[in-house]
Amino acid sequence: MNTFEWTLLIWLGSLVAGFLGSLTGLGGGIIVVPMLALGFGVDIRYAAGASLIAVIATSSGASAAYVKEGFSNIRIGTFLEVATTLGALVGAFSTALLSTRSISIIFGMILVYSAFLSIRRWREQGEISPGSGPADPWAIRLKLNGCYPVPAGSISYQAQNVATGFAIMFGAGALSGLLGIGSGAMKVLAMDQTMRLPFKVSTTTSNFMIGVTAAASAGIYLHLGYIDPGLSMPVMLGVLPGALLGARRLVFARPRDLRVIFTAIILALAFEMIYKGLRGGL
């Protein structure tokens, strides 16, 4: 395989990763890392560095469209980003100190449990009035409640369990910095499961947040020499148009379909991370 073919294949894979990452709120990075490491034999550290650049591109490409459509909750995203950025700095500095093997296994187990919770909530509650319980006092004080558009008008929602969601976001940021991913899965689940936000609000707000989290980590990766421009460029150029396509498709997607796609992806990633962690491939 020559350089042109190698670059083209990476671009195509990144295009798909950007589309799925934007549509589900996972961030393209969580797909890019295993694609580069397993499919192209790229060192995991350089794959993580390119992934962080891709995550920034995903967030930049999709979040503008979501904000314009009225899905993203900017106040919630900005507030929670304080926790994820601090966690990202801690995780990025830990790359030279900790092995990702055990963290990969733990993260995979968390994703399996998260998928179970997502399926259970869908079966028990469906998409009926998310966040319909009493609003968290912090949500009222910080004005985190909002509404999102639907064909018939708009639906209001109230954020719940704000403190718990903030704590989970710190862990999501730490994983982002350590593994070179946007940790969109944990962010979406924290907002969807813990804070009881509507699923579309969770995914779009996650897309808004992951770029800031990744930017905090990318500076440290650049300092450590783990960002290769020759690898990061085709990844970024693939992820960006993929993210824009995903943003356009989300407007017409049903929440139930998004939840099924989301659950299927995180389950596949969970088993892959556990398997590679046990084998020592990460």
Q: How many residues does the chain have?
A: 282
Q: What is the pTM of this model?
A: 0.68
- Give the integer Cα–Cα distance in Å for 9 and 16: 11
Q: What is the pLDDT of residues 147-161, one digit of tens each?
A: 888 777 788 888 888
How many domains is the chain built from? 1
Start-end of H helices in the chain? 3-24, 29-34, 44-69, 74-93, 100-125, 137-141, 162-179, 184-189, 199-224, 229-250, 255-279
Asked if pLDDT for residue 62 goes beyond 50, the answer is yes
Cα four-point dihedral sign 221, 225, 228, 229 = positive
Q: What is the pLDDT of residues 220-272, one digit of tens each?
A: 788 888 889 889 999 988 888 887 787 777 667 776 776 677 778 778 877 87
Asked if pLDDT for residue 211 goes beyond 70, the answer is yes
- The Cα angle at residue 280 between residues 171 and 189, in degrees rounded to 5: 25
Which residue range(s) make up the domain with 259? 3-279
What percent of the chain is predicted at pLDDT more than 90? Answer: 7
What letter does residue 94 receive in the DSSP assignment?
A: G
Higher pLDDT, 7 or 185: 7
- Give the integer Cα–Cα distance in Å for 3 and 87: 37
Residue 187, C-beta contacts closer than 8 angstroms, at least 6 positions apart: 25, 80, 84, 169, 172, 202, 205, 206, 209, 210
Asked if pLDDT for residue 180 goes beyond 70, the answer is no
Higher pLDDT, 24 or 220: 220
- The Cα angle at residue 271 between residues 186 and 206, in degrees rounded to 5: 20
Tell me the pLDDT of the chain averaged across its residues: 78
Range in 24-28, 86-90, 139-143, 223-227 the model is least confident about: 24-28
Q: What is the pLDDT of residues 83-128, one digit of tens each?
A: 988 888 888 787 667 676 776 677 677 677 766 766 665 554 444 4
How far lies 63's CA from each of 21, 106, 192, 227, 228, in Å? 12, 29, 18, 24, 25
First CA to last CA distance, the chain: 24
Nearest to 73 by CA among 185, 161, 199: 199
Q: Token pair of 79, please?
A: 């507030």
How far lies 9's CA from each of 2, 219, 238, 269, in Å? 11, 27, 10, 21
Name the 3-class secondary structure at 261.
helix
> In the beta sheet, which residues pair with residue 147?
156
